[in-house]
């Protein structure tokens, strides 16, 4: 029997249980709304057969009259060599069918950084050759401008895709999602934006790109994220202490999905 004395106690107990249920469901929904928190760098989440960084070594010039080069020996066979001369760089892949391929471009950077990666990006048993190269470093914030080339040798020609990335870094620019064997490119770039109640500012924007049928395409199950460049983030970025940057930068609660809205 419920007496008048017990009714307020029951009401309080029911209200407490309801509040706990609401808070619990909100916590689960919040975790589900940030699925990228469980993503990991491909270099640790995938086996070496699916993703590996090759080592570049000083090598003789690939051609007579060329400057000295840095070369990596591919597990596929063949080599990738990068050679800089004044303000230009030539990347040459040789020793594979359908024959050598060369990529030339400008470089205005105070340091020389080229990375060679072999990976099965699409988890389709096709090995891609990835060459990431910095070609410019801006003044002020020191934004690094990188080009990521993805090359696949065919019987008669090369398949090639190119993506421009700002502040690319290994290993955090290559991201695996839980339960998948594919490797995604986390494309980052600096953009100007705004938030309600704030003036305009600079944001680092991240887009998950999946490699599909020879091309990088945005993933629809990952939002475009933005993190505003505030003082702490600027110091963190400058100190280079985040081992899996840029992915690690977007684990902050200050990294939010971008929803296009019209500026008032």
**CB proximity list for 254: less than 8 A, separation 6 or greater:** 227, 228, 230, 233
CA dihedral sign of residues 247, 253, 255, 256:
positive
In a domain, residue 19? The reply is no
Query: Domain tally for the chain?
Result: 1
User: In this predicted model, what pLDDT tens digit does every residue of 107-139 receive, in sequence order?
Assistant: 988 777 899 999 999 999 999 999 999 999 998
Q: Please report the pLDDT score of residue 33 as a whole number.
A: 81
Q: Which residue has the tokens 């100007």?
A: 192
- Residue 30: band (very low, low, confident or very high) from pLDDT cuts 50, 70, 90: very low
**What domain range is 154 assigned to?**
33-257
| Tokens representing residue 126 in the block | 């096709």
What's the pLDDT band for 87 if we cut at 50, 70, 90? confident
Question: For residue 24, what pLDDT is reported?
Answer: 32
- Beta bridge partner(s), residue 117: 53, 130
SS3 assignment, position 13: helix
Look over the chain and give the mean of its residue pLDDT values, rounded to a whole number: 86
Is the pLDDT score of 17 beyond 60? no
Q: Residue 21 above 90 pLDDT? A: no
Q: Which of 24-33, 67-76, 124-133, 147-156 has the lowest mean pLDDT?
A: 24-33
In a domain, 190, yes or no: yes
Distance between CA atoms of 44 and 80, rounded to whole angstroms? 24
User: What pLDDT does 99 receive?
Assistant: 96
Q: Quick one: pLDDT at residue 176?
A: 98
pLDDT at 32: 52
For the segment 203-208, the average pLDDT, to the nearest whole number, is 98
Q: How far apart are CA 131 and CA 93, in angstroms?
A: 10
Q: Which two tokens stand for residue 208?
A: 């998950």
Tell me which H or E stretch contains 104. Answer: strand 101-106
Start-to-end CA distance of the chain, whole Å, equals 60
Q: Is residue 103 part of a domain?
A: yes
At 19, is the pLDDT very low, low, confident or very high (cuts 50, 70, 90)? Answer: very low
Instruction: Note whether residue 9 is domain-resident.
Output: no
Looking at the chain, the whole-number percentage of residues with pLDDT higher than 90 is: 73
Asked if the structure places residue 225 within a domain, the reply is yes
Asked if residue 186 belongs to a domain, the reply is yes
pTM above 0.75, yes or no: yes
CB 233 within 8 A of CB 221: no
- Domain membership flag for residue 3: no
Residue 1 lies in a domain: no
Give mean pLDDT, residues 168-189: 97
pLDDT at 15: 36
């Amino acid at each position: 029997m419920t007496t008048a004395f017990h009714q307020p106690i029951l009401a309080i107990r029911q209200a407490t249980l309801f509040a706990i249920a609401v808070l619990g469901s909100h916590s689960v929904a919040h975790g589900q709304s940030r699925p990228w928190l469980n993503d990991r760098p491909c270099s640790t989440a995938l086996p070496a057969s699916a993703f590996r960084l090759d080592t570049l070594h000083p090598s003789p010039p690939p051609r007579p009259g060329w400057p000295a080069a840095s070369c990596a020996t591919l597990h596929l066979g063949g080599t990738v060599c990068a050679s800089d001369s004044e303000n230009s760089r030539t990347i040459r892949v040789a020793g594979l069918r359908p024959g050598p391929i060369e990529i030339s471009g400008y470089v205005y950077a105070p340091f020389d950084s080229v990375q060679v990666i072999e990976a099965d990006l699409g988890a389709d048993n096709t090995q891609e050759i990835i060459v990431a190269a910095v070609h410019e470093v801006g003044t002020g914030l020191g934004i690094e401008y990188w080009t990521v080339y993805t090359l696949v040798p065919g019987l008669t020609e090369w398949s090639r895709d190119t993506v421009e990335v700002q502040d690319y870094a290994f290993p955090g620019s290559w991201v695996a999602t839980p339960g998948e064997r594919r490797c995604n490119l986390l494309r980052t770039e600096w953009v100007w934006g705004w938030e309600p109640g704030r003036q305009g500012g600079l944001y680092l924007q991240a887009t998950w790109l999946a490699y599909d049928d020879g091309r990088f395409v945005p993933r629809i199950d990952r939002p475009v994220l933005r993190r505003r460049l505030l003082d702490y983030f600027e110091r963190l970025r400058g100190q280079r202490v985040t081992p899996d940057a840029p992915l690690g930068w977007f684990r902050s609660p200050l990294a939010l999905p971008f929803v296009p809205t019209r500026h008032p």
